[in-house]
């Protein structure tokens, strides 16, 4: 990791602002340093700022997580999932499994894409297309407690595919939710809750890499700055997005993905 303080703050802000907005935070962590001529921040920095956004979602939805944990525990004791909160909790568990399996099986492939800005830019264009189609075709009728097991599995598979940088995780899960009939704000809320186990698990695995680095302590100030900036901007982004999706549409984010991906591809072509 060769990220200085200014770069850590900027990239932490980019991570927090783009993790929950459907525009691919991992894609931006590849493209922004590449476009600015900075060295890649590395997977350890990427993981730490993702943990910053984990803190953001935990801070924003802590009441939801407490209610879900209590309902889930009661469902284990009573062997009954009639409680809507318990049902959502189990569907989050089910939706996490596909991404965990896909991430484990395709780890080397997904990591190789972090060194391929052109591919990342192309996948941003795909993200824009997915968002536009979901907004156009989605029925937007169901609340989270009306999700079915099949809904959770399909949204989980979408989250697994979005491990690839450039494919937005929140974009893929929101789009899958809209395709399955969820309302905009409901699919965003479920998407944020569903992201928590994956971000935590990935961060826990990559944290080992940090302690294996011989000079890890020299990077702690930059990592801390990136972490704090990502947490703050992530929290603000969640607030903005949930308010926006009460009336706003995903076309705005689709257009942004097309512009960001198109400009990045143009730069790649002209630089050769």
What burial letters (b/e) apply to 166-195, b meaning 16+ CB within 10 Å? bbbbbbbbbbbbbbbbbbbbbbbbbbbbbb
Whole-number pLDDT of residue 217? 59
The whole-model pTM stands at: 0.89
User: Which ranges constitute the DSSP H helices of the chain?
Assistant: 5-19, 25-36, 42-60, 62-78, 84-105, 107-113, 117-137, 149-161, 169-179, 184-212, 220-244, 251-270
- Side-chain half-sphere exposure of 175, counting CA atoms within 13 A: 28
For 227, residues 6+ apart whose C-beta sits below 8 A from its C-beta are 12, 48, 49, 51, 52, 55
> 63 vs 52, 66, 89, 124, 235, CA distance in Å?
19, 5, 13, 33, 15
**C-alpha closest to that of 240 among 24, 14, 18, 55:** 18
Torsion angle of alpha carbons 15, 21, 25, 28, nearest 10°? -90
- One digit per residue, the tens of pLDDT, for the chain of length 272 reads 566 889 999 999 999 999 899 999 889 999 999 999 998 887 678 778 888 999 999 999 999 999 999 999 999 988 888 888 999 999 999 999 998 899 888 777 777 777 789 999 999 999 999 999 999 998 888 887 788 999 999 999 999 999 888 999 999 999 999 999 999 888 999 999 999 998 888 777 777 666 666 555 567 788 899 999 999 999 999 999 999 998 889 999 999 999 999 999 999 988 87
- With contact defined as beta carbons under 8 Å apart, do 24 and 127 qualify? yes
Between CA 269 and CA 272 the distance in angstroms is 6
DSSP 106: T
pLDDT at res. 107? 72
Per-residue pLDDT at 113 = 78
Per-domain boundaries in the chain: 5-270
pLDDT computed for residue 46 by the predictor: 78
CA nearest neighbour of 44 among 230, 209, 167, 232: 209
User: Is the alpha carbon torsion for 19, 23, 27, 31 positive or negative?
Assistant: negative
- In order of 3, 73, 88, 91, 93, the CA distances from 78 in angstroms are 51, 9, 16, 17, 18
186, two tokens: 């409901």
């Amino acid at each position: 990791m060769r990220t200085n303080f200014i770069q850590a703050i900027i990239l932490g802000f980019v991570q927090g602002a783009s993790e929950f907005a459907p525009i691919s935070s991992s894609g931006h962590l590849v493209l922004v340093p590449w476009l600015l001529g900075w060295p890649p921040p590395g997977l350890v920095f990427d993981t730490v700022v993702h943990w910053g956004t984990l803190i953001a979602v935990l801070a924003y939805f802590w009441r939801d997580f407490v209610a879900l944990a209590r309902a889930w525990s009661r469902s284990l004791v009573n062997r009954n999932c009639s409680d809507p909160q318990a049902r959502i909790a189990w569907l989050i568990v089910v939706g996490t499994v596909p991404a965990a399996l896909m991430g484990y099986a395709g780890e080397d492939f997904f990591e190789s894409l972090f060194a391929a800005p052109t591919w990342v830019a192309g996948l941003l264009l795909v993200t824009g297309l997915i968002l536009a189609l979901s907004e156009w075709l989605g029925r937007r009728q169901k609340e989270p407690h009306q999700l079915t097991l099949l809904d959770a599995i399909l949204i989980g598979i979408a989250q697994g595919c979005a491990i690839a940088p450039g494919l937005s995780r929140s974009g893929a899960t929101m789009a899958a939710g809209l395709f399955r009939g969820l309302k905009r704000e409901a699919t965003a809320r479920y998407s944020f809750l569903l992201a928590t186990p994956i971000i935590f698990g990935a961060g826990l695995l990559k944290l080992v890499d940090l302690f294996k680095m011989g000079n890890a302590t020299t990077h702690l100030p930059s990592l801390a700055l990136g972490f704090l900036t990502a947490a703050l901007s992530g929290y603000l982004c969640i607030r903005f997005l949930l308010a926006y999706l009460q009336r706003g549409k995903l076309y705005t984010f689709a257009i942004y993905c097309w512009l960001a991906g198109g400009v990045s591809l143009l730069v790649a072509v002209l630089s050769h």
